[in-house]
Amino acid sequence: MNSYAHLVSSLSDNEDVNVAVGLRPSGRIHLGNMATMGLAARLCHDVGPHIATARITVCDYDLPDRSDWDIRKNGFIRYFDSIPAPGNDSTSLLDHATEGIDDFLEGLSKHYGIKFTSQKLSDLQRLESYRQGLRNIFDTQGAMQNLYPKVPEGCVLAYPICGDCNTAGAHPNTPYRSGTLITSCTNPECSVEEFDMDIMDCSKDVAVHFFIDPLRDKCVEPRADVHVFGGDYGLGHNNTEIAKITKIIDLMTTAAPDISNPEILIGPIFYARDGTKMSKSKNNGLNLQKLKQHFGNDYVENIGIVIDHISEGGYKHVDYKIVDDIMFKNVY
């Protein structure tokens, strides 16, 4: 992991630069999400006159709140774009969760003079290159146990999604043998029981949590030169999300040494007025809708002012007073 200034310097001679960001839309887009995307946009701008693109991947699956059976015991995974939004059968949960994101990306593109592309994991995970990278990991002897010692031998961290009901069980320790995932459907309303899935069958959906970012960055063209992660990924000590990501990248390098590794940049952590970390679960943050209501069409420019201050100062922890002083005064 390098500093912002070091990355700008090291990328300045590249003919093309691709900066990747992952977005998990479990709620409204908040200041942390926007800062991570904004930092990627600012990095693309600062690289110089080269073709620079910031890529957003919407990792559109999760454990939805609602279920017709015991979610604590069975649970399920489903792509957000196949679930209707609450009270609106014509809008998917994905569209609802990412409301306004396209407008924000367009604003960032204009503000920083760079190019943005967005892609959904539900599309990405069906690419052959993505699946081949996943198989390389699963076929590496002892890989799962090295990454996650609790995974039983002969099993992998994967959620094959039932083709009939579009759900998968919550327990990811799936038996794996020679390119085949062997699992069962836990949905009591589904007629399917046990089923096998060829990992290279790109017509079938499979969800993987911790492998998403390395697989996208190293296996799917255009490959990432840099991946910007949110500040939460750096929290903790030896068991941070970044530590897991780094172990997977190292494993993928062993499985496919010809593929270069992306640089990693961790964005800032924002703190609320009471000194606690801004989070969607606490609802103590600033979301896109609130900022747009206050600033109108100028909200992206005002977020950009904060991003510029953070990138220039190399901040990793951003107290609310900084946001208050720079973006607005005593509004929230």
Secondary structure string (H, E, C) spanning 239-256: CCHHHHHHHHHHHHHHHC
Q: In angstroms, rounded to a whole number, what is the distance separating the alpha carbons of residues 206 and 81? A: 15
pLDDT recorded at residue 19? 94
Q: In angstroms, rounded to a whole number, what is the distance separating the alpha carbons of residues 35 and 268? A: 8
Residue 320 falls within a domain, yes or no? yes
Residue 191 falls within a domain, yes or no? no
Residue 148 falls within a domain, yes or no? no
Residue 40 neighbours by CB distance under 10 Å: 28
Tell me what the pLDDT averaged over the chain comes to.
83
- The CATH number of residue 289's host domain is 3.40.50.620
What are the CB-based long-range contacts (under 8 Å, 24+) for 137-140? 137/211, 137/248, 137/251, 137/252, 137/255, 138/176, 138/179, 138/199, 139/179, 139/255, 140/251, 140/254, 140/255
Q: In angstroms, rounded to a whole number, what is the distance separating the alpha carbons of residues 171 and 152? A: 12
Residue 95 falls within a domain, yes or no? yes
Residue 168 falls within a domain, yes or no? no
Distances in Å between the Cα of 13 and the Cα atoms of 1, 114, 188 are: 19, 17, 56
pLDDT recorded at residue 75? 64
Residues 6+ apart with CB under 8 A from 234: 240, 241, 242, 266, 269, 316
pLDDT recorded at residue 143? 81
Q: Name the domain count of the chain.
A: 1
Q: Which tokens is 172 given?
A: 């990811």
Bridge partners of 173, per DSSP, are: 157
pLDDT recorded at residue 3? 83
- Residue ranges of the chain whose pLDDT lies below 50: 66-67, 237, 330-332
Residue 164 falls within a domain, yes or no? no
Q: In angstroms, rounded to a whole number, what is the distance separating the alpha carbons of residues 196 and 237? A: 38
Q: Please report, as a single letter, which amino acid is at residue 285.
A: G
pLDDT recorded at residue 175? 94
Q: Return the biggest CA–CA distance within the chain.
A: 60
> What is the per-residue DSSP string for 129-189?
HHHHHHHHHHHSTTHHHHH-TTSPTTEEE-EEPPTTTS-B-S--EEEEETTEEEEE---TT
pTM of the model: 0.87
Residue 175 falls within a domain, yes or no? no
pLDDT recorded at residue 71? 54
Q: In angstroms, rounded to a whole number, what is the distance separating the alpha carbons of residues 264 and 252? A: 16
Q: DSSP code of 194?
A: E
Tens-place pLDDT, residues 112-159? 999 999 888 889 999 999 999 899 889 988 888 888 888 899 999 899
For 204-234, b/e burial (b = at least 16 CB within 10 A) is: bbbbbebbbbbbbbbbbeebbbbbbbbbbbb
pLDDT recorded at residue 239? 55
Cα 285–chain centre separation: 19
Q: In angstroms, rounded to a whole number, what is the distance separating the alpha carbons of residues 235 and 254? A: 27
Domain range for 288 is 4-64+81-143+209-327
Distances in Å between the Cα of 98 and the Cα atoms of 229, 238, 279 are: 18, 32, 16
Residue 277 falls within a domain, yes or no? yes
Task: Tell the burial category of 185 from Cβ atoms under 10 Å away from its Cβ (0-12, 13-18, 19+).
Answer: buried
Residue in 217, 174, 216 with CA at minimum distance from that of residue 77: 174
Q: Are strands 16-23 and 51-58 parallel, antiparallel or unpaired?
A: parallel
